[in-house]
């Protein structure tokens, strides 16, 4: 899995983004709802994503996570053990990035947002998956399980299948912005 991630990063770094065609003018800015709908489809097909937090040493820290499907306005929930590095890092710096990649469609979604640590038993019970029983010792969704809620600030999408391509000159993806999250 790590080799695949490294290969993807090298591919992205070494080549223009998909849809960045040198002689093709960029289309008008697509409607927000269309971009969000396309992002949902790419996210659904990708299933897993890379979550990036800011490490204590100032370096970004990346790991694969299995998030819940996004809610309205693309709020994403992630379950985890409260002793993980990502929990410590979110506790110090709420800025996170989620990267979803669908290799079959050569499409990606990057969601930049603010994360909150959620320990509320009601929220945890609502978002429990029975297949997690072996990972968490506390069957009543207690202290060994918490949620990370990521509320978006910016969404970036490249998906030729949805007609969402990068700017041919700057390679900037299609972007949707949200108001700042408190």
pLDDT digits (tens, 9 = 90+) for 123-133: 998 888 888 87
Residue 3 reports pLDDT greater than 50 = no
Q: What is the pLDDT of residue 140?
A: 53
Measured in degrees and rounded to the nearest 5, phi and psi for residue 39 equal -60, -45
Residues 103, 159 contacting (CB under 8 angstroms): no
Rounded-to-integer distance, Cα 148 and Cα 133, Å:
18
Domains of the chain: 31-177 (2.30.110.10)
Quick: pLDDT tens for 31-83: 999 999 999 999 999 989 999 999 999 999 999 999 999 998 899 999 999 99
Rounded-to-integer distance, Cα 6 and Cα 56, Å:
22
**DSSP H or E segment with residue 107:** strand 107-118
- Give, in degrees to the nearest 5, the angle at Cα 45 between 54 and 10: 50
**How many residues would you count in the chain?**
182
Q: Binning pLDDT at 50, 70 and 90, where does residue 27 land?
A: low
- C-alpha distances (whole Å) from 96 to each of 11, 85, 99 are 23, 13, 10
User: What pTM did the predictor assign?
Assistant: 0.83
Rounded-to-integer distance, Cα 102 and Cα 134, Å:
29
Q: What is the pLDDT of residue 101?
A: 97
Q: What is the pLDDT of residue 21?
A: 46
- DSSP letter for each residue of 6-45: HHHHHHHHHSPPTT--TTSPPPPPPPHHHHHHHHHHHHHH
Q: What is the pLDDT of residue 145?
A: 87
The half-sphere exposure of 124 on its side-chain side, counting CA atoms within 13 A, is 21
Q: Binning pLDDT at 50, 70 and 90, where does residue 171 land?
A: very high
Quick: pLDDT tens for 143-152: 788 999 999 9
Measured in degrees and rounded to the nearest 5, phi and psi for residue 106 equal 50, 50
**DSSP H or E segment with residue 122:** helix 121-126
Residues 22, 168 contacting (CB under 8 angstroms): yes
Quick: pLDDT tens for 85-106: 999 999 999 999 999 999 999 9
Tokens matching residue 8: 């993807």
Rounded-to-integer distance, Cα 113 and Cα 106, Å:
23
């Amino acid at each position: 899995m790590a080799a695949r991630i490294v290969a993807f990063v090298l591919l992205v770094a070494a080549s223009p983004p998909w849809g960045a065609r040198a002689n093709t003018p960029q289309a008008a800015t697509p409607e927000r709802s269309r971009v969000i709908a396309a992002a949902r489809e790419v996210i659904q097909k990708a299933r897993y994503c890379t979550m990036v937090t800011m490490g204590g040493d100032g370096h970004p820290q990346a790991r694969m996570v299995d998030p819940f499907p996004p809610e309205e306005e693309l709020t994403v929930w992630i379950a985890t053990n409260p002793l993980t590095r990502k929990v410590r890092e979110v506790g110090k710096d709420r800025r996170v990035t989620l990267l979803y990649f669908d290799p079959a469609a050569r499409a990606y979604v990057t969601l930049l947002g603010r994360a909150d640590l959620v320990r509320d038993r009601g929220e945890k019970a609502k978002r429990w998956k029975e297949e997690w029983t072996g990972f968490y010792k506390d069957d009543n969704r207690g202290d060994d399980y918490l949620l990370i809620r990521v509320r978006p600030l910016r969404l970036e999408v490249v998906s030729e299948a949805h007609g969402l391509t990068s700017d041919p000159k700057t390679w900037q993806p299609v972007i949707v912005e949200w108001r700042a999250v408190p």
